[in-house]
Amino acid sequence: MKRQGTFPFTAIIGQDTMKKALVLNVVNPKLGGVLIQGEKGTAKSTAVRALADLLPPRRCIKGCRFHCDPDDRANWCDECQEKYATEEPPVELLPMKVVELPVSATEDRVVGTLDIETAIREGKRSFETGILADANRNILYVDEINLLDDHVVDVLLDSAAMGINTVEREGISYSHPARFSLVGTMNPEEGDIRPQLLDRFALSVKVAGEQDPERRAEIIKRRLAYEADPEPFLESWKDEQAKEVRRIERARKLLSEVTCSNDMLLLAAKISITLGVDGHRADITLIKTAETIAAVAGHTEVTKEDIREASRLALPHRMRRRPFEEQNLDWTEVDEVIDDEA
């Protein structure tokens, strides 16, 4: 059976903020992921799955089941450390991908399993990889993340914080790198998300259905055309997709050249204080986001406008709020702080 292609990322109408947040995480995988909140049927899952077609390939150690980075020896798995202790590893280019974590996934399916019998009988650690192994250096996508089992949430929190997945059974342990960008989607009507997990997302966006009649009609038109005959539809968007891939590749190359002045660092701190944001993770994420926005825009110096746009993505979900309290943010004060900057 021939598999149907994914609806093109560039063919999605509207939802510009959501698409921008996803692209930023592709350009800078170290950002730390994005949470997309919105009602059902607003292209959340479609956009995340379509993202896979825009992901650039990455250098991996050939044959490594954790696709270790040959240029980052400090974060190699134990197998690569042992095998290539005195020689250079063979390298292959592999595509990045979006790895999906089902809400119903068990803890063993997520972290992997140790074969205790083999360990006892042969004295060898036999490890069967899980979803976190596959997600290393990829994007880990969780639909309906607010409905995840608490045990799985704790595992994700630990791995996101440490960049390592550790499995322990009967006194035997196994660790492997698990560095991933976490992308979650949720419908707030189905329940809230744990604050500890919320803070692990670098960016957060809220999406809603399109209210312009003509644009809404165009959404229907494109979807029906795609479902009726996917191949010609995908072909018609091939150039736009290629253009977006080139834009992402240019931004990734430019990112290392982007600088942020002390004035912009001070501005980021003032914004966080104005919004009453707890901790310093928000300030750091704000600057990283602004730098990535600058790279996507094609300039190498972070501007006030980069900071302004980044604040809308990196700070709202870190605001102090009471349980069940709606977050209707007034950005007037923040804009005044930004506009007062010389």
The chain-wide mean pLDDT, for the chain, equals 87
> Where are any strands of DSSP class E within the chain?
34-38, 57-61, 91-95, 98-100, 113-114, 127-128, 139-143, 164-169, 172-177, 181-186, 203-207
Determine which helix (DSSP H) or strand (DSSP E) holds 154, and give its type and residue range: helix 150-162
The whole-number pLDDT of residue 285 equals 92
Lowest mean pLDDT among 35-39, 45-49, 149-153: 149-153
Check pLDDT > 60 for residue 327: no
pLDDT at position 169 over 80: no
Bridge-based pairing of strands 98-100 and 139-143 is parallel
Lowest mean pLDDT among 24-38, 222-236, 312-326: 312-326
pLDDT at 163: 86
Interval 75-81 mean pLDDT: 90
In the chain, pLDDT over 70 holds for what percent of residues? 92
Residue 324 pLDDT greater than 70, yes or no: no
pLDDT, tens digit, 9 for 90 and up, residues 277-308: 877 888 999 999 999 999 999 999 999 999 99
Tens of pLDDT, residue by residue over 104-123, are: 888 889 988 887 776 566 66
Q: For residue 120, what pLDDT is reported?
A: 63
Alpha-carbon dihedral sign for residues 67, 70, 73, 74: negative
Residue 106 has a CB neighbour count (10 Å cut-off) of 12
Q: Strand ranges (DSSP E) for 20-64?
A: 34-38, 57-61
> For the residues 309-333, what does the mean pLDDT come to?
72
Inter-residue contact 182 to 32 (CB < 8 Å):
yes
**Buried residues in 25-55 as b, exposed as e (16+ CB within 10 A):** bbbbbebbbbbbbbeeebbbbbbbbbbbbbb
> pTM of the prediction?
0.86
Q: What is the pLDDT of residue 122?
A: 64
**pLDDT of residue 236 exceeding 90:** yes
Q: Assess whether pLDDT exceeds 60 at residue 21.
A: yes
DSSP E strands in 251-313: the ranges are none
Q: Tokens 């329940």 identify what position?
A: 191
- Residues 6 or more apart whose Cβ sits within 8 Å of residue 149: 107
Active site members: 281
Residue 185 confidence (pLDDT) above 80: yes
pLDDT number for residue 320: 61
**What's residue 190's pLDDT?**
84
The CA angle 8-92-167, to the nearest 5 degrees, is 85
